[in-house]
Amino acid sequence: MLDFERVAHAAAARAGALIRSRYRDRQDISFKGEVDLVTAVDGEAERLIIDTITAAFPEHGIHAEESPSRPSQDGHRWYIDPLDGTTNFAHGYPQFAVSIALAREDELLLGVVYDPVREELFTALRGGGARLNGAPITLSSVDQLGRALLATGFPYDHRQHVDFHLSFWREALQHAQGVRRAGAAALDLCYVACGRLDGFWEWKLHPWDLAAGRLIIEEAGGRVTDATGGPHQLSGEETVASNGRIHGELLAMIARARGQRGQR
């Protein structure tokens, strides 16, 4: 196992063990925005991850959800979401994960997403494929949007843009087999990678939300783009992912919803 991979696995395991031990407890909650909450466990798990990585790679940069960013001294940067799905966690709803990715400059090298409740570890190495608990994963074979199970999520400012987000949901209800909104983008992306879902879209995700999941999909052979089919940007506002077979139809669905609202 590569040193990067070993350290990422260790960091995810430490954070996951903490989260698993605490998720049935009454949570210490504060709010960063109108509906954007954070728990004490978010900060504790993030500290475990950062300490584990920093001890091994003090020269690496850190870009994490709950801590100030630290610049890289050698071009390597870790993207860390210690608890993707915090709202679920705060309510005791068991759909959340630890998400850790490593990039060199703009190239993603490694992705780890750990679901501590189900004890499912999704991993990917650039050029090495994608795995679930060590076994290779494959995308679904669904090749028609009408037979596809899709997932999406809503950003924290969704109350200010209800009609915008519902326009895409409405279009999906009309043209896909089903739509899910589970509240943890990292897991949604991994579920596309392993064939549980066929496609996914969401607006305003952060790099720490999606870096690991994007690499896992790509290494499984899937596709991740912006909403026009262009190259995906970690710092961009649009994420569309699929098994590749329905990607064109998924993009067309999004374009129709945008067109109906006059969105460009």
Q: Are residues 22 and 46 in the same domain?
A: yes
Q: What whole-number percentage of the chain has pLDDT above 70?
A: 93
Quote the tokens at residue 14.
């430490």
d(CA 77, CA 101) in angstroms, rounded, equals: 8
Quote the tokens at residue 188.
């949604």
- What CATH number corresponds to the domain at position 7? 3.30.540.10
Q: Are residues 132 and 155 in the same domain?
A: no
95-102 average pLDDT score: 98
Given 106, 136, 166, the domain boundary residue is: 136
Given 102, 136, 170, the domain boundary residue is: 136
Higher pLDDT, 158 or 110: 110
Contact 61, 102 (CB under 8 A): no
The domain in which residue 9 lies consists of 3-136
d(CA 261, CA 67) in angstroms, rounded, equals: 37
> Is the pLDDT reported for residue 263 higher than 50?
no
Q: Are residues 81 and 175 in the same domain?
A: no
Q: Are residues 89 and 10 in the same domain?
A: yes
Q: Are residues 130 and 163 in the same domain?
A: no
Phi-psi region of 121 (alpha: psi -120 to 50; beta: other; left: phi over 0): beta
Given 70, 103, 136, the domain boundary residue is: 136
User: What stretch of H or E contains 17?
Assistant: helix 3-22
Q: Are residues 115 and 160 in the same domain?
A: no
Output the DSSP codes for 125-161.
ETTTEEEETTEE--------GGG-EEEE---TTGGGS
Q: Are residues 21 and 123 in the same domain?
A: yes
**How many angstroms separate the first and last alpha carbons of the chain?**
45
Q: Are residues 121 and 185 in the same domain?
A: no
- Per this entry, what is the length of the chain? 264
What does the pLDDT read at residue 35? 52
- Indicate the pLDDT class of residue 32, thresholds 50, 70 and 90: low
Domain count, the chain: 2
101-112 average pLDDT score: 97
Output the DSSP codes for 60-108.
SEEEESSS--B--SSSEEEEEEEEETHHHHHTT-S--EEEEEEEETTEE
Q: Are residues 120 and 149 in the same domain?
A: no
Task: Quick: pLDDT tens for 145-197.
Answer: 999 999 999 875 555 557 777 899 999 999 999 999 999 999 999 999 999 99
Instruction: Give CA separation, 34 vs 37, 160, 222, in Å.
Output: 8, 11, 35
Q: Are residues 21 and 50 in the same domain?
A: yes
What does the pLDDT read at residue 33? 57
59-81 average pLDDT score: 95
